[in-house]
Structure 1
């Protein structure tokens, strides 16, 4: 029988197929908490990046609006201005500023421009160090606004923005956790095909899968946010590989 502390179990779930396999005996309630903990650890870099980029982006945008840039309007949550061509300028010390009502610039192209603000058809894009975060106009309550109105609203928003971002991050965490539980449930269902003659039920495979996500989710999500984008299929494939390897480590009952 394996008896480990919570942190030892967490650490060994990164690499030990025997510990992952033995997790089929853990209580379902502690495993649900374990999955939430894994999602929190894996998503922390993304949430920190989102928070810092949005805070600095709004401050940067407020400073840019004080400069001589063309007038524009936001009507019914969409951007309008007098020209069909994008307006691009670089403001000293603040980065670039772009008005692009037709979404001519793709997100990948904007990230290559490094630091700046882009106003696109339905959203702001804040770019900092090659990372971009988008905020829809409707989320900020911007339905009918001119450049001057927007400047005042952005100034007012700065005091409320940290609370707004915490609310957004909380909602994102709930969404990620729901996606994780759905993925664990589906992968455990598929794992039934690989149990062979082992005495495993669906609940056992669900618990094994919930612990098998430790390394793939944390490592790949951190790499995806901090280094290089990772396709979603890599999360699925690597997790399922851990599940199958752990199942195969469980001895097959001997025939009488």
Structure 2
């Protein structure tokens, strides 16, 4: 049997092309697996959808969350699979940490707030002042500013300083606001009391679970918010190419305090 010169000439390029396609496929699959492993085990990005954590975090911020900071639970995994409760490895949140979590009343919703009360603490708000274990969190008034996401609203910037010396800036919308006066909450073991920094525009642990957060079970925690990687102005979106450059340039690579 004889072979045509053309068939002999064409065979090597076809084999070479198939080998290249296979190598590209293996490379893409490896990259995808690595990216998923990093997303599940180490870091995951989230976009801030609301104003409840102003002024530190604003609508459109694209943040990076550390998953290994507190270990892993089913809330850390995609789609919140029906696994046993509890956390694997990792430490415990500290008072003042900014935490991403699955809302207890609706785990499909991912929210972000600041840890104010730890297991065993008592928390109360009186006339807008936050008391933890009977001691007031020290507040230092700074200046009146326009709310970042609602410039028509004037708010007072207040620096809060915890007993650990951790400090951050919150918004105070004025006296006699809903949530300015609460009963004493006792935080049970394995749960946390969460509050938004935009104190008069945040549904958090001051509100019952069907309206806000209620007390947050440790198993609902996704991870600790670490850094604002980038930020887009409200209205920008992945499927709106003309908005991709509507950036808030001053918020790139901003550590989350």
Same fold (TM over 0.5): no
Under a length normalisation based on structure 1, what TM-score does the superposition of the two structures give? Answer: 0.27
> Which structure would you say has the larger RCO, counting Cα contacts within 8 Å and 6 or more residues apart?
1
